[in-house]
Amino acid sequence: MATNQISRPVEDSIAKVNDEVAVGEDLDFQRKWWRFENAAWVVFTLIIILDLSGLFGRGPIASAERRSADGVFDVKYERIERTDSPSILTVQFAQSAIQNGKIQLYVSNSLIKQLGTQRVIPAPQDTVVGEGGLTYTFPASRSPASVDLALQPSGPGIYDFTIGVVGSPPVQAKVVVVP
Amino acid sequence: MEGWGKAEAGNQPALSFHSSALYLEVLFSMAAVLRAFFGYFFLVMIVRIVGRRPGKQMTPFEFVLIFFIGGLALTAIVGDEVSFTNGICQIITMGLAHYSLAWARTKSRRFARLVDGTALILLENQSWRADTLRHMRIFDDDVIASARDSGIKTLQEIDRAVLERNGEISVSRLQQDA
């Protein structure tokens, strides 16, 4: 059975030389491409240098430390976090943070939810919900004393958090979570 | 202690604070297919920039490059979403991305040239195109290896060596006068 197939003559869109099938080389385009490639390598190198320096988290730029106004505690954290990547926020207490053999530490909800607190080390003796966050109570003897919060943010964004010892001015800080 | 929560809560109901950040988070969690889509085009760009050698002129270190890039891309694109549903959706996304790229190539010659590059002459009229060899990170040994594949034993027998768009080096034999 005959079929009507659409057909077109065989032709080469690229000019032929000596009736040979043309190679199709385009050196003008290729030279532009090589220039683009060189620029891309420079950009790639810059990205890696910025990454090593911590601009995208996990490096010297990302590490931050804040001390409360009265020097009762200080917080070491990552000001740039990565989504789904674990990090540690450490709170170090001075002797004046220990009241009646206890430390009461307030953390805002954003530390628990957006910044994804997975564990509190050591486990608190008591936890109270309220004032837009949680207040943990830890039995304590003498300084130096510290508490770690294991964080793992679940998504990118810019988040503020508040952390403080009851009776002292809190520390507020901002964390950028990159994808 | 009083008022510490104000920075986050303000005067809004507790559930709506950080609504924009929450929206971003939800969008991100839904974006597995977007990650696959972006990942596909990012890999196309990287492989295009890294060079044409990985196409056919594969040496062991190029194998490492391809498998390593593939493994790292897999980790970033799949993330912790290891469900069957996600796998199927991401594979379909990759298929669609590939189809759209192939379709765009047929519609625009400029785009095709951008994605594939053009064939490049490496050796012609008994002289090497040194600039092309250097930029494409190809050694004369690579051309000679391709010549041997075509049954050519000496450089003098080569009429022209061309680096094709797929990374293969095609070598044509010089026509001997009768």
Write out pLDDT tens, residues B116-163: 888 899 998 888 999 889 888 888 888 888 888 888 888 888 888 998
Q: Are B39 and B20 contained in the same domain? A: yes
Query: Which tens digits make up the pLDDT trace of A105-115?
Result: 999 999 999 99
* pTM for the full predicted model: 0.74
pLDDT band at A16 (very low <50, low <70, confident <90, very high): low
Residue in A37, A83, A172 nearest the CB of B7: A172
Query: How is chain A split into domains, by residue range?
Result: 25-54, 63-178
> Does one domain contain both B138 and B58?
no
In the three-class reduction of DSSP (H, G, I as helix; E, B as strand; rest coil), residue A124 is classed as coil
**What was the pLDDT predicted at B97?**
94
Q: What is the CATH number for B137? A: 3.30.240.20
Q: Are residues B64 and B79 in the same domain?
A: yes
Same domain, B96 and B154: no
Is B2 inside a domain boundary?
Answer: no
Q: Residue B5 falls within a domain, yes or no?
A: no
| Mean pLDDT of the region A88-96 | 94
Please report the pLDDT score of residue A48 as a whole number: 95
Mean pLDDT of B40-44: 91
- pLDDT more than 90, % of chain B: 16
pLDDT of residue A19: 55
**Chain A residues near residue B25 by CB distance under 8 angstroms:** 114, 154-157
Q: Please tell me if residue A34 touches chain B, with a CB cutoff of 8 Å.
A: yes
Q: Are residues B93 and B139 in the same domain?
A: no
Residues of B in contact with A27 (CB under 8 A): 120
Q: How many residues in chain B? A: 178
Say yes or no for a CB contact (<8 Å) between B4 and A159: no
| Closest approach of A57 to chain B, Cα-based (Å) | 16
* Positive or negative: CA dihedral B146, B147, B149, B154: negative
Q: Which residues of B are less than 8 Å from A29 in CB distance?
A: 113, 118
* Residues of chain B contacting residue A157, judged by C-beta atoms under 8 Å apart: 18, 21, 24-25
CATH number of A63-178: 2.60.40.1510
Same-domain status, B110 and B65:
yes
User: Vertex A172, ends A168 and A177: CA angle to 5°?
Assistant: 145
Question: Does residue A2 surpass a pLDDT of 70?
Answer: no
Residue B67 placed within a domain: yes
* Terminal-residue alpha carbon distance, chain B: 101
Last residue of a domain, which of B71, B87, B115?
B115
| Rounded percentage of chain B residues whose pLDDT exceeds 70 | 77
Q: Is there a contact between A131 and B28 if contact means CB atoms under 8 Å apart?
A: no
Neighbours of B82 (CB within 10 A): 8
One domain, residues B106 and B39: yes
The confidence score (pLDDT) of residue A80 equals 95
Q: Is the pLDDT reported for residue A26 higher than 50?
A: yes
Question: How does residue A43 score in pLDDT terms, banded at 50, 70 and 90?
Answer: very high
Q: How do the residues of chain A divide into helix, strand and coil, expressed in percent and rounded to 5? A: 20, 40, 40
Would residue B95 count as lying in a domain? Answer: yes
Number of domains into which chain B is organized = 2
Here the tokens at position B56 are: 């056919």
B6 within a domain of the structure (yes/no): no
Mean pLDDT of chain B: 79
Is B61 inside any structural domain? yes
Inter-chain contact B5–A133, Cβ cutoff 8 Å? yes
Same domain, B54 and B106: yes
Please tell me the predicted confidence (pLDDT) of residue B10: 42
Cβ–Cβ gap B119/A24 under 8 Å: yes
Q: Which of A13, A155, A162 shows the shortest C-beta gap to B25?
A: A155
In a domain, B92, yes or no: yes
Residue B79: pLDDT band (50, 70, 90) is confident
**Residues B31, B58 share a domain:** yes
CA pair distance A101, A82, nearest whole angstrom: 36
Q: Which residue of B has its CA nearest to A108?
A: B5
- pLDDT band, very low/low/confident/very high, at B32 (cuts 50, 70, 90): confident
Residue ranges making up the domain that contains B23: 16-115
Supply the mean pLDDT for chain A.
Answer: 88
Could you report the per-residue pLDDT of B51-69, keeping only the tens digit for each?
A: 666 455 567 777 788 888 8
CB atoms within 10 A of CB A149: 24
Residues pairing with A154 in the sheet: none
Which pLDDT value is given to residue A123?
A: 94
Residue B140 and residue B164 in one domain: yes
Mean pLDDT of A110-139: 92
Q: Tell me what pLDDT residue B6 has.
A: 43
The C-alpha atoms of residue A82 and residue B28 are separated, in whole angstroms, by 13
B42 and B98: one domain? yes
CA–CA gap between residue A5 and residue A21 (Å, rounded)? 26
Of B93, B115, B137, which marks where a domain is finished? B115
Using the predicted structure, report yes or no on whether residue A137 has a pLDDT greater than 80: yes
pLDDT at B57: 59
pLDDT band at B28 (very low <50, low <70, confident <90, very high): low
Q: What is the pLDDT of residues B92-107, one digit of tens each?
A: 999 999 999 999 999 9
The reply to whether B123 and B169 lie within a common domain is: yes
Could you say which of B3, B24, B80 has the minimum Cβ distance to residue A84?
B80
Higher pLDDT, B31 or A175: A175
- Give the A:B interface size as CB pairs under 8 Å: 92
Residue B104 lies inside a defined structural domain of this protein: yes
